[in-house]
Amino acid sequence: LLQCVPLIPEAQAVLDLVDQLPEQVQKGKFPVIAIEGLDATGKTTVTQSVSDTLGAVLSKSPPACISQWRKVFDDEPTIIRRAFYSLGNYIAASEIAEESTKSPVILDRYWHSTATYAIATEVTGGIQYLPPAHHPIYQWPCDLLKPDLVLLLTVSPEERLRRMEGRGMERTREEAELEANSVFRQKVEVCYQRMEDPACHVVDASPSREKVLQMVLSIIQNNCN
């Protein structure tokens, strides 16, 4: 991003925020729960419902303080886009640390999204060319605040497409790639499943909203005592 500053002024603004971060952030006593999944798997609905039910703070990555620049970086080459989203996780972590001292925190996407899309983009060919399971690339970064639980919402490709068409969603470059390239989508899904420490708890998000919410709350109760 430093090299981009002359061409992308917003890069300097992101770096300024990173420079203000404390060297080490500690999670508070309340649980931090990240909810992952491709678009149209129900993330927005589930994160809002879980947050309301638990009286939790609802947070996103990238956080609000830099999300206004997403469009700028989404139009840039992959390596620049990845740098923006990676740093977004570290900026979010600082906010999560503070909020988790006061209440539970529900995160709409976090590091696993950044990593899975990056790996799937960088690896050419099919899923057989992905790094094998238990490769270090699937490990959580040692210097990033770790959530207590990660939930991965999944629906079938057909159901996801039906939901997207029903909502008339504007698609990002990566979403368009997911629809046009089933191999890319498979690589993203396999990478999610190979993530470790913490691994993803897979949740079938096909049933009704109420049923999915019940399943999610049950997993949280069993894993975040």
- Tens digits of per-residue pLDDT, 75-99? 999 899 999 999 999 999 999 999 9
| pLDDT classification of 173: cutoffs 50, 70, 90 | low
The more confident residue out of 181 and 202 is 202
Res. 175: pLDDT tops 80: no
Residues 183 and 181: their CA atoms lie apart, in Å, by 5
Tokens coding 44: 């927005």
| pLDDT classification of 100: cutoffs 50, 70, 90 | very high
| pLDDT classification of 19: cutoffs 50, 70, 90 | very high
Residues 178 and 60: their CA atoms lie apart, in Å, by 22
pTM of the predicted model as reported, rounded to 2 decimal places: 0.88
Res. 200: pLDDT tops 70: yes
Residues 189 and 28: their CA atoms lie apart, in Å, by 31
pLDDT of residue 172: 59
Res. 8: pLDDT tops 90: yes
Residues 118 and 128: their CA atoms lie apart, in Å, by 16
Chain mean pLDDT for the chain: 90
Residues 5 and 22: their CA atoms lie apart, in Å, by 23
Q: Which residues contact 64 (CB under 8 A, 6 or more apart)?
A: none
Q: Which residues contact 213 (CB under 8 A, 6 or more apart)?
A: 46, 49, 50, 53
Res. 22: pLDDT tops 60: yes
pLDDT of residue 177: 63
Residues 102 and 164: their CA atoms lie apart, in Å, by 36
φ/ψ of residue 110, rounded to 5: -155, -145
Q: Which domains does the chain have, with CATH numbers?
A: 2-224 (3.40.50.300)
**Mean pLDDT, rounded, for 18-42:** 90
